[in-house]
A and B are shown apart, each in its own frame.
Chain A
Amino acid sequence: GQNIDQPTEMTATEGAIVQINCTYQTSGFNGLFWYQQHAGEAPTFLSYNVLDGLEEKGRFSSFLSRSKGYSYLLLKELQMKDSASYLCAVQDSNYQLIWGAGTKLIIKP
């Protein structure tokens, strides 16, 4: 079966750095997405990785290792507005997205 695993909840301090991990087992791989979802709102696109390595975009970076079936989202200089759920999704061999349950990130002052 297809499976995406990520921690249910994480807590971090404002101004700090946090790493959210995602491991996957899917039928085929055509890319990995990270989305941010604030409570009661729609998911919004953060990043896309299809090749191994680190993609940096401002305070957010995303890493992929296809051989390990592993990705992480790194958030630097945390702000209170970063409190949200972070969703990992893998595009399978049919180009459908398989979604993890999301990681709820709580930022404390």
Chain B
Amino acid sequence: IAGITQAPTSQILAAGRRMTLRCTQDMRHNAMYWYRQDLGLGLRLIHYSNTAGTTGKGEVPDGYSVSRANTDDFPLTLASAVPSQTSVYFCASSEASSGTDTQYFGPGTRLTVL
């Protein structure tokens, strides 16, 4: 089934631990994105990648890193988790980085940092 998968579905993490959220798409989309969604706030872009091999910083990149070694995978790493990183994380992808560029979302990862 075509789409975007994310893993894990949810995670409880101790502060200071390292964590990688996984995202894989099989639509051969060029662009991929990581957002966080917090209650009362809009989706906020963490990092993005317009094509394999390139990445860029979004609105709230601090404390997060990404890589884009191939078209399909776009992992998000928290090097040393802090409680303010408790959130729901969504990965998304789109065909291109400009124009009518509908983003399609994965099911999300609910992360709690204690």
Contacts and interface: CB of A to CB of B under 8 A. Distances in A.
Interface string B36-47: 000011111100
A33 B44 contact: no
Contacts of B43: 43, 87, 89, 97, 99
B108 A31 contact: no
Contacts of B106: 42
B107 A99 contact: no
A97 B100 contact: no
B104 interface: yes
Interface residues of A, number: 22
Interface in A10-55: 30-31, 33, 41-45, 48, 50
A44 B98 contact: no
Nearest to A101: B42
Interface of A: 4, 30-31, 33, 41-45, 48, 50, 87, 89, 91, 95-102
